[in-house]
Each structure stands twice: as C-alpha cells, then as structure tokens.
Structure 1
C-alpha cells in the first residue's frame, strides 16, 4: 500500500492543500490503510512488533492524537474496515504471501541470534504489517468507544468508500491506490499535521502522466501489488514488492495490456493459477460489492455482471450476516471460511516451523474450528450445512476434510435453551462477562433458572444489551465444555470457577490493564490445559528457537519455562514508545500457540452472537445499530496480549537461578517498562489463580502428573520470591 504513495510522491503526482480547507467536512478512511500507515511510518512504526505480538505500545497514543487533531480541525472521520477476502486472492495465494513473510521473519531471527541488534531491528521492521487482524479488531473497538463512526464492508473497503463519496455520505476519501482502481476520482494520501498540509492524488493526472488508459492504469496497480485484491506476480522470494516503474516498463512493452503480459509470463513460467486470479481480480474491480444507503448488499452494474459472480467475489452469504459484519458483531474470518468452505492456516510470527504449532492447528484446534463453523451454519442454507469443508495448511499440500455437518444438530439443541432475561443476569456481567456468567451457574438453583426456551417459539425474547452479551457468553461456555446441558458447571467449569475465586481473593482482578485481562488470561490457561499444551515440556528445539530459560539446574529451567508460559497470557506496563529489550523466539513460539487458541475462542463467541441474532431471539425494535456495535466491542478476547510480561518473568527468574555473584539487575534490560515490580506481582497472582484451579480440578480432567508439575513449580516459585525479598533484582 505504501509503495503507491511513495511512487506518487517521487513522481510529483500529489496535490497539496491546507487542512483548513477541510474544516467541517466528513472524511471516510480506509481503516486498513490508516493502520498500515501507522505501522510503517517513520514516526510511529515499532519494528520489533513481529517479535512481540500484541499491539504496538504507542498505537493508542497515535490514534488518540489523530482523533484530537480531527476534532480540533472540525473534521468528522468515518473508518471503513475490509470484510471478506476476494476470491481472486484464494487460500493458496494467501499461503504463499504468508510464507514470504515468514521467511523475512526467519531471516530476522537469524540476524538477532548473531548479535547484530540494529540489523535485526531493521529486518523485523519489514514484517510489521504481517498478521495484524487482531490489531484491526482492537482499532474497531477503540474507535467505537471513542464515539467515531466505524463499519466493516462486505469485501474491500475501497469500493465502499467510493460509493459513500459518490452518494454524498462523505466529502472526501483517504486510503490507498485501491480507491482509484475502484472508480474514485481522487484519494487523500496523507495529513501532515505539523505543517497543516493535506496531500491527495488524482486518477486522471496519474493516467495522463503515465500516458495510460484507465484499463492500463488499473493493470499497473494490480500487477505492482498496490491493490490488496491481488498479489504481485513479480514479488521476490523474500517478500519485496518491485517498484511500480518496473511493472510500468513491462506494461508499456505490451501496450498497457496486463492480460497479455501475464499470458507471456504464463508461457514462460507455466503460471496458469496466477493468470486465473488476475481474471477474477479484474472482474471484481468491474463489479465490486458494497452496502447501499438502505443496507442492501449490491454488486455494481449488476445487470451486466456475469452469472457466476461468486467465482470472483466468493459465495454469497445472507444479507443479514453482512449486516452484523458491518456493525462489528463479528469479524470476517469465519465468514470467509464459510464462504469458501475452507479453513486456511498461515504461519505464525515465529515462522511456524515447530511440530507443536503445526499439530495444534492441524489436530487440536479442529474441534473449536468445527464448532464455530457449525454454529453459523445452523441458520444458513444447504450449501453451507451439507457442503464439504476442508482445512489447508501452509506446511502441507494435503487438504483435510472437516466434520462441520456432524456438529450442526447438537448446536441447535444447545442454543434453544438459552434465553436468559436481565432479571437473572448479574449486574456486573458487562465488566467481567466470563467470570460473572460462570459464577451465575455455580449455584445449581440459579442455574436451573437459566434453562429458558422461547415460549411457543415466540420471537424477540431478548430486548436488552446485557441480555445479548449474557446469552452469547453463556452459550459459548456450554459449547466450550464448561457447562452441562442442564446448565450446571462441568468438571472443567468447576476448576475454572476455583481459579476465578482465587483471582477475586488475591486481588488479581484489579491489576489488569483492561477490565477483562484477568478472566481472559485464566480462561485461556484452562483452554491450554484442555489441549495439553500448558506444561514445562521443551517443545521448541534450540536452535533455531533461541531464548529459552538458561540459568540454574534442569528443575530451575523447567519451572521458569512453565511460569513464563502462564505469563504469556497477560499484559505488562510499558511507556508509549517502541520496545527495546531482550527477545525470545522460544517464548514467542509458545505465545503464538496461545494466540491461535485465543482467536478460535473469539471466533466461537462471535458465531454464537450471530446465531442468536439470526434465530429471531432478539428484538429488532429495541436493539439497534449502537447496541450491535456495543455487543461486538464487549465480547471477550478483543485485545491480544504481547510477549512483554513473559520476557520480564523469564528474565527475572533466570537471574534468581543464576549464581548470586553473577546476578544482574534486569531493570537495565527493559528501558521503558513503567512498573516492573507491579508487573511481577501481577504475574505471581496470575500464576496463583491458574495453580488454584489446577489443584482444585478433578483428576479425570487434569491428571496427577500435571497437578504435581504445578505444585512443584509453585513451591519452587515461592522459595525464589522469598529468597529474592532480601536481595531484590528490581
């Protein structure tokens, strides 16, 4: 996306004006382009983001500063997020793109392991926009909470922005070259607040300077990778996109005909797959999909569109689902998988070369994936209910069938009994939805009150925002195995409740950066226990997974590893500035396993929210746009933790296991941590909560060996903390 803006600037194609000229105007932003700019611009980029996961530490500050600038300039911003993936960029192409990014990251880690710190930072910075879906989800929620208008388009944001401008819903659009490709006459490329200058490019000027027709101009932007609808065919193995000028020269030789250029390439490289993708991309540009003023999902120039539109846009979903996507009730991932009937897995930030991660996504997460797909399929037609779903993985050429059809009937029976009204729900559920919902069911008498079928199938039973959130979470808890069919707690539910009670008694609940940090961390720990991946096993070989615990005996290293893995689930305090400090590919590999589980849990929550709305359980008179957006924003697992807390805990415990004369003050390693002592105390309390739940669990779900592992680690940790009290490292 940045390549086009850099090229336009170098070719003097930008027009400039004063921000004052845009006072009292409405500007619609391509949210993904806005985020990519923050992630890559010199003043806001945090190059170590791919080595840490989570959010950039200064991201909220940059966003809030921009929002204040818009208010000061009396500019009303509207942010439009991308929806589903266009069929022209299919799973195979996405996997190839991800492999290139993973190669960039693998090279960066190799440089880091050689001790070339500055070179490593620059290398990591090349992948700052890889795997940022969770950042987009946070941005949507943060903007909505700030009172900014947000929406998610059915597919690409660009045609939606163009439609909005053409129909008078905004005075200007700000985004990438894709806006020009989809018919925008001009697009704002930057706001230079320090100089008070706005820059934009004009489609006609660009075409005139190039001496290209409209069609040739579109081909140029497609083939150079400036439009995310299609990947550039000339990308190098390491993921670098060629300069627009190079593609321009090739197109000029072919008289501006991109199709002819690719035919030539196909003859040379036998790349029929890419040629087909290009055809689809051109049709997707000619007949894009957008939401109209009355909420209808339409195809531009539909009367002239071919009969197989789904071949280049993807299988059509019910308009109601696009309605919930538009308002942020759900993200696009499961809808994407449903439309294509394929789960596409891409490499994690650590590169995904480890067998444990591959086993996780190929085997252990299949149940959660299938549940989410089955929940939404309940309210869809036979194509989705009886079609064959597959899973495709970047490390295998074999597609694995998924038993989605078999999961539909059990979901129907389960969902029909959750229509709990506000009077039964706890008052603090909106602040702590997981803990409060589980606590509601911990009393068997109260649990029976939640068995609430719709009387005589009557619609519109749920009328309040808290009822939407409460019933979504309650259904999710049962589907995830924490609640029985009679709405009492299962063995897993009781163990989780013991951990939540410990969090209330030891003060961990009040220590989170966000209100839901503590309950999300504890819940995720139990999901990892269910999947048998929360332990002290050394899953990742060294090399290449550098940075495991290094100090002390084997017992010291094992216990440090286990406690650090729990710490992966929490947030830590850091100044609003890019991270500097130690890294660990070993811990990052585990962190990426936790993020895969977290994303699957979020998917399941979103699908239960959509299924509840689509089933007619919710009143459409009292639940409007704001309430739907509030629901999506209030669902758990909105924010993904970074690796920072785990790095602090691992470094601290490593030094406690070092020889006393060689111990170092780790505060010197983490330059911008604002409350290391508080972070460590939070980590110990988080550990205590998880351990309390493990020890309270029935041996039928958590065996004696795991209980003993946690007990040994807990005794060891308490000894280390007590010994350190007189010789503190922080």
Structure 2
C-alpha cells in the first residue's frame, strides 16, 4: 500500500492539483491523520526509508527518531494531531487479494536474497527496498502504543482509517485530514499529503481540482479510485494497471473506454470475481463505517442500510468490542479472523519455503489461534459460538483446516476465577522487590510463589453486581497476565506455579541476580526474551538442528567443527530474542536468510502469544470486570502495558553468529568493522551471554517431565563450550 500511496501523491504533484502553504497556517489546528498512510510514507520516502528492513524484521532503527521529529514539529507548530489506525478489513479485501500481495512481496524478497547470495549487494538492497512496507503489523502495534505513551491522541477505526478521519472532520473534531486518495474517496474535499518540518511547508490536494483535471464527476471519481488499486478497498483489476508506473492514468484510460462507468469497465474485463469485489468496495464507500465520540459504530446513512451490508463491511460485533478496539486494548487481527471465519497465514519475510515454519503456523500455533478466538466468542452472539473458523495457508491455498473454536469455549472458563485486587498485587510484588507494570511476567510468577497468596487470588464467582471489580492500572494488567500465564500452563488450576512456572521463575531469578533484567532501555526485554525461549522450547523449536535448506537459506554458521557450528547456531537463535544497539540510521552489515527464517518463527510465536494476551484482556472487560468509571486513556494504558508488544530485530543474532564464527576461525577478524553503525557491540555480546545464562539456568532447573535429559545435556555442553570460547578470547591478544 505504501508505494500505491506514493503513486497518487506523485500524480497529484505532477498534474498540478496540489497546493502548498506554510505550516504556520495550521497553528492551533487539529489534524486527523491516517496513521498507516503516515507510517508508509516514512517507510518509503527516500530520506527516511530503510531498505534492509525486510531482511532484519523488527522495527526500523531510525523510526523512533523520525516519529519524534514529527511529534516535535506538531508541538512547535501548535498543532494537535489525532492518529487513526485501520481496524477490521472490509469484505472486499478478500483472501485472493491478500494472497496476491503476499506472493508479489515474497517473489521480490526471494530475488533479493538470490542477488545477495551472488554478492550483488547494491542490487539486493534495491530489491529489498521494494518490500519495505510488507508485514508491518507489528510496527503498527508498536507505533500505536508509542504514540499513546507520548501523550498523543490515538484511535483505531472500526474499519478504514480514511473513513474515520473524514468523519472526525465532518463532526468538527478535526480541522483538516492528513492521508491519501482514500480520504477523497470517502468524501473529503481536500487532504493534506505531506508536512515538511525542514522547509516548514505542507502540501494538500483538492478534490475539485482532481475532478477537473480528470474530467470526472464525484461518482466517476470513486470508480476511478477503485479501479486504480490505489486505495485500501479493491486491488487493481488487470496487469496493465497494476504494473503501470502511473496506475491512475492507466485506470483513467480504462474508464474512458467504458463511457466513464465503473461497472461497464468491470464487465469489459470479463472477470466476475473482480466485478463482485468492485461492487462490494463501491457499497463500502456508500455506507462508510465509522465510530462516533461515544464509541458507537455508525454508518454513513444511519439506519438506511441494506440487509446484507455484512457482505460488504463484514460481520457485526458488539459495540463494546469496537470501543475497546478504538482505544487500543486489542488489535484487529483476531477480530478479523472471527468475523471472516478464516485465519489466512501469509508467507513470512524469509519466503516461508521451509517445512518447519509451515508446520509451526499450520499445526503448532493453531491451538493458540483457537484459544484466542474462543475467549472472545464466549461473549458474542450464538452465531459465533456455534460457527467454526478455518485455517488456510499461503503454500496450500486449496486446503482448509477447521480450528474447532466452538469446542474450546468451555475450556476458556478457568480465566473467570481470577479477580486479584490492588492490595494483593502491590503488596506481594513489593515483597518480591518487583513492580507489576515494569515486569508483569516476573511479578506474576513471583507473587504466586509466595506462601498463602495463591488461595487469595481465587474467586469462584463475582460479587453482584459484577461491574467495577477492577479500578486500577495494576489490577487490569495483573489479572490479564495471570489469566494468560494459566492458559499457557505456567500456573496450575489452584493458582500455584506449575513445573513450567517454577522453571520460568528460576530463569528470571537468575536474570535478576546477574542484573540482566536491568540491561537496556526496555525493561521488559529480558523477561520477555526468557519467556519466549521457554515458549519456543515447548514448540520443539529451540534447538541447533539444521531446519532450513542450505542451498536457498544461506547464512548459517560456517566456521569450526560440527560442534562449533551447532553451538553457534543455538546461541544465535536465542540471541534473536533480544535487541541490538544500533545508530538511528539504516542497517549496513552481514545478513543471514537462515537466521531470519528462525527469527520469523519466533516472531510468529510472539504474535500469537500477544493475540492471546489481548483476548484475555478483552474477555475480562466483556465480562464486566472493569469499572465503568475508567477513562479512555485507562484502556489505552492496558493495551500498552500488556507484554510482548515489541518484536526484536535480527541484529543481535547476527552479531552473536559473526562473533562466535570468528572465535572458531583460525584467523580471527574484528567483527566491529562489519557493523558500521552498531553503538556498543561489546555490551550487546555481554547481554547475549547473560540471556543465555538465564535461559540455561531455567532449562537445567526444569523438572525432567517437561525438559528431558537430552535437552539439558545439549544446553549444558553448549554452556561449557561458550565458557571455553570466551576464556580463549579473553586470553588472546586480538580479542574482538
């Protein structure tokens, strides 16, 4: 979508339908901003793009800097922004359209890796850059939270963000809208396309000028927008538009050949499937969905809507869910699955041709998807409680797998026994020297390890009336975390720690003792890395096996003996769970498709766990556990407080692999020369060893019923190997 957005902006600039003015003209104004369009602009603009993002995963290294520059610009200009994120997909965004985008991106990334393998670095970087907005779900999740933490107004639309920003303007909650052509499609008379804080200028496009330049009416302009594929609604219909560097002009020519009638244009394509998508998209514009200031979803024409509107904008959910979505308690992904009755897994950044990743998403993570949807479905209409959801994967589109969501409803009721009050959480966490908001996972297992506390956390039934149980930030976060950890098997039914919970606590205690928990700016990074290692082990994915084909997945450890390579691989895989200290500039350095493939397995697992956390929070709220006196920021705080928010990049894994490879090399090289913008490789390596030490401590302490002796031996020998390697490095004169 990012490149599509640029295509319209380039046309508008080239054809003279834009106007520029000084940003000072916007002083004291309120702007409603399409957040995804704004992010895509950052990810694709020449001055801010990081082309190697698809090779690294995680967040762009300079993203926070660019976001802060914009926020400072708004503050200095006296502008109040409201960032609006896309909500649920509209029905016209069908699986075929999503699969097509995924295939195009995967083919481009495959070509980039081929070029990289042939040492054609410049060509590879250029090819990677073509997909720099692909797979940005986790970036949007982080951006939503970061903006809220920075005190910026955020909102998630019930569906299209463009429709919501136009509604905010129409209802006088905003003085202008910032976005793309989609805003004009939904009725805006003008849209700000860019704000340049260096030149102090902003540029906007006016709809009357667009209509005059294109010689079209309002309705014909809507047809043109949809045919062009430059909006979030409908894909481009034919290659002559999709592959054209000027898709708007190509679509205009098609429309002109068909008497400026969109339906006639669809008929001329002789593609019934596309025509149906076009008609749905047309109806989605006519009956645009938005949420009012009370949190209630509305359509453009109110009650005058067709009976089958759900075929256009999707199945209806309760108003409360749209409100919690708008405040950022939950992301749209699970809601999309539940309303579309389908989980569609797309290819990961590495291409997804490896069997281990395919098995992970099609089999091992499927129960997590089921649990997440079951938690939400308990509070929904009977239609959802008795209707199943199917799983479809990109590599076998014709095969569907039932997820048995209705069968999982009863097993989700254990979560309702958690109603832990503020005094228990705060007092017990303080006894352990912890803070729930700072370290929710560690605080939760530490609280329940204290004598007499587990029984105080059990409530068989809520007091009547049920509303108002939770009134504080700690209660909301704590109870969501307790429910999640019980669901994942770290807590027993009597709320004592299970064998997994005890092993996790040993690992976290070790991290606290070595002060690993306090390393870095993100205080949750350490506990989340340790937790993720346990989860990957439980999925049989934390090992040194050669999971990916060497011919196409280059970048595996290559120095030393087979033992050296295996141990290097195990430590490098664990390192992908931590962050990398890098300058606020695009990455330059060695890449590894092999390590990226494992990183994507970890990322898919993290995403599935975060989904489950959000659904526990949502289920808790839908059951009336929270006080009605909570404010909108309170709900946004909950969304930001929940663990597993940020996905680490591959940088630390690349550093560890490079360093250990060189320790197994007869002639060692100083790897700091390979990572030009790394800020402190020495401390990054020390952090990686501390991470390994904590995880190994938990593995060794685990009951043999959950971690077998072979695994313990593998980890113990790897630990001894690492200690020997580091000892040799310390004694060598050419250390690094």
TM-score normalised by the chain length of structure 2: 0.96
What is the aligned partner in structure 2 of residue 148 from structure 1? 152
Is residue 300 of structure 1 aligned with residue 300 of structure 2? Answer: yes
CA shift, 1:442, in A, is 1.6
Residue 256 (structure 1) aligned to one of 249, 253, 260: 260
What is the aligned partner in structure 1 of residue 444 from structure 2? 437
For the 8 Å contact 1:47–1:121, the answer to whether it is kept is yes
For the residues of structure 2 that align with 1:528 and 1:512, how far apart are their CA atoms? 23
What is the aligned partner in structure 2 of residue 406 from structure 1? 407
What is the aligned partner in structure 1 of residue 347 from structure 2? 347
For the 8 Å contact 1:100–1:238, the answer to whether it is kept is no
For the residues of structure 2 that align with 1:214 and 1:109, how far apart are their CA atoms? 45
CA shift, 1:250, in A, is 1.4
Residue 585 (structure 1) aligned to one of 580, 593, 602: 593
CA shift, 1:237, in A, is 12
SS at match of 1:423: helix
Q: Equivalent residues in 2 for 1:260-339 (5 A)?
A: 260-266=264-270, 271-339=271-339
For the 8 Å contact 1:289–1:297, the answer to whether it is kept is yes
For the 8 Å contact 1:652–1:729, the answer to whether it is kept is no
For the 8 Å contact 1:419–1:452, the answer to whether it is kept is yes
Change (3 A) 1:576 1:302: same
CA shift, 1:463, in A, is 1.3
Is residue 230 of structure 1 aligned with residue 234 of structure 2? Answer: yes
What is the aligned partner in structure 1 of residue 657 from structure 2? 650
Change (3 A) 1:40 1:729: farther
What is the aligned partner in structure 1 of residue 376 from structure 2? 376
Deviations 1:72-111 (A, max 9, x none): 1111111001001111011232122111111111111111
SS at match of 1:27: strand
Change (3 A) 1:702 1:126: same
For the residues of structure 2 that align with 1:151 and 1:576, how far apart are their CA atoms? 27
For the 8 Å contact 2:376–2:618, the answer to whether it is kept is yes
What is the aligned partner in structure 2 of residue 695 from structure 1? 700
Deviations 1:104-123 (A, max 9, x none): 11111111111011111110
What is the aligned partner in structure 2 of residue 211 from structure 1? 215
SS at match of 1:562: helix
Deviations 1:261-306 (A, max 9, x none): 221212xxxx322221111111001101101122210111134421
For the 8 Å contact 1:48–1:579, the answer to whether it is kept is yes
Deviations 1:513-558 (A, max 9, x none): 3010001101010000000000000000011001000100111000
CA shift, 1:235, in A, is 4.7
CA shift, 1:194, in A, is 1.9
What is the aligned partner in structure 2 of residue 160 from structure 1? 164
Any stretches of 5+ residues in structure 2 without a counterpart?
none
CA shift, 1:458, in A, is 3.4
What is the aligned partner in structure 2 of residue 19 from structure 1? 23
Change (3 A) 1:238 1:601: farther
What is the aligned partner in structure 1 of residue 476 from structure 2? 468
Is residue 720 of structure 1 aligned with residue 725 of structure 2? Answer: yes
For the residues of structure 1 that align with 2:8 and 2:86, how far apart are their CA atoms? 19
Is residue 446 of structure 1 aligned with residue 453 of structure 2? Answer: yes
SS at match of 1:77: strand
Is residue 52 of structure 1 aligned with residue 56 of structure 2? Answer: yes
Deviations 1:482-506 (A, max 9, x none): 1111001111111111111111111
Q: Equivalent residues in 2 for 1:513-528 (5 A)?
A: 513-528=521-536
SS at match of 2:529: helix
Residue 192 (structure 1) aligned to one of 170, 192, 196: 196
For the 8 Å contact 1:222–1:232, the answer to whether it is kept is yes
For the 8 Å contact 1:97–1:239, the answer to whether it is kept is no
What is the aligned partner in structure 2 of residue 171 from structure 1? 175
For the residues of structure 1 that align with 2:245 and 2:324, how far apart are their CA atoms? 35
For the residues of structure 2 that align with 1:356 and 1:273, how far apart are their CA atoms? 34
What is the aligned partner in structure 1 of residue 711 from structure 2? 706
CA shift, 1:443, in A, is 2.6
For the 8 Å contact 2:33–2:178, the answer to whether it is kept is yes
For the 8 Å contact 1:370–1:403, the answer to whether it is kept is yes
CA shift, 1:258, in A, is 2.1
Deviations 1:414-434 (A, max 9, x none): 122100001111250000001
For the residues of structure 2 that align with 1:500 and 1:348, how far apart are their CA atoms? 30
Q: Give the ranges of 4+ consecutive aligned residues of structure 1 lying more than 3 Å apart after TM superposition.
A: 235-242, 453-458
For the residues of structure 1 that align with 2:189 and 2:491, how far apart are their CA atoms? 55
SS at match of 2:613: helix
SS at match of 1:290: strand
For the 8 Å contact 1:419–1:453, the answer to whether it is kept is no
Q: Equivalent residues in 2 for 1:62-77 (5 A)?
A: 62-77=66-81
For the residues of structure 1 that align with 2:692 and 2:509, how far apart are their CA atoms? 13
For the 8 Å contact 2:555–2:594, the answer to whether it is kept is yes
Is residue 491 of structure 1 aligned with residue 499 of structure 2? Answer: yes
What is the root-mean-square deviation of aligned Cα atoms in Å? 1.3
For the residues of structure 2 that align with 1:609 and 1:59, how far apart are their CA atoms? 28
Question: Which 10-residue stretch deviates more, 353-362 or 248-257?
Answer: 248-257
Change (3 A) 1:143 1:501: same
For the residues of structure 1 that align with 2:595 and 2:348, how far apart are their CA atoms? 13
Change (3 A) 1:237 1:181: closer
CA shift, 1:445, in A, is 2.0
Is residue 633 of structure 1 aligned with residue 640 of structure 2? Answer: yes
Deviations 1:444-498 (A, max 9, x none): 4211211124444431211111100000000000001111110011111111111
Question: Which 10-residue stretch deviates more, 309-318 or 455-464?
Answer: 455-464
Residue 118 (structure 2) aligned to one of 114, 117, 127: 114
CA shift, 1:239, in A, is 7.5
Is residue 100 of structure 1 aligned with residue 104 of structure 2? Answer: yes
Change (3 A) 1:94 1:422: same
For the 8 Å contact 1:58–1:578, the answer to whether it is kept is yes
Change (3 A) 1:238 1:663: farther
Deviations 1:371-422 (A, max 9, x none): 101111111111111102101111111111011111111112x122100001
For the 8 Å contact 2:296–2:322, the answer to whether it is kept is no
For the 8 Å contact 1:579–1:672, the answer to whether it is kept is yes
SS at match of 1:88: coil
CA shift, 1:234, in A, is 2.8
Any stretches of 5+ residues in structure 1 without a counterpart?
none
SS at match of 2:334: helix
For the 8 Å contact 2:367–2:403, the answer to whether it is kept is no
Is residue 390 of structure 1 aligned with residue 390 of structure 2? Answer: yes
For the 8 Å contact 1:289–1:298, the answer to whether it is kept is yes
For the residues of structure 2 that align with 1:716 and 1:125, how far apart are their CA atoms? 39
Change (3 A) 1:162 1:410: same
Change (3 A) 1:235 1:501: farther
SS at match of 2:706: coil
For the residues of structure 2 that align with 1:25 and 1:655, how far apart are their CA atoms? 57
For the residues of structure 1 that align with 2:343 and 2:245, how far apart are their CA atoms? 27
For the 8 Å contact 1:234–1:242, the answer to whether it is kept is no
SS at match of 1:399: strand
TM-score normalised by the chain length of structure 1: 0.97
Question: Which 10-residue stretch deviates more, 253-262 or 514-523?
Answer: 253-262
What is the aligned partner in structure 1 of residue 356 from structure 2? 356
Question: Which 10-residue stretch deviates more, 241-250 or 136-145?
Answer: 241-250
For the 8 Å contact 2:244–2:250, the answer to whether it is kept is no
What is the aligned partner in structure 2 of residue 540 from structure 1? 548
For the residues of structure 1 that align with 2:291 and 2:604, how far apart are their CA atoms? 31
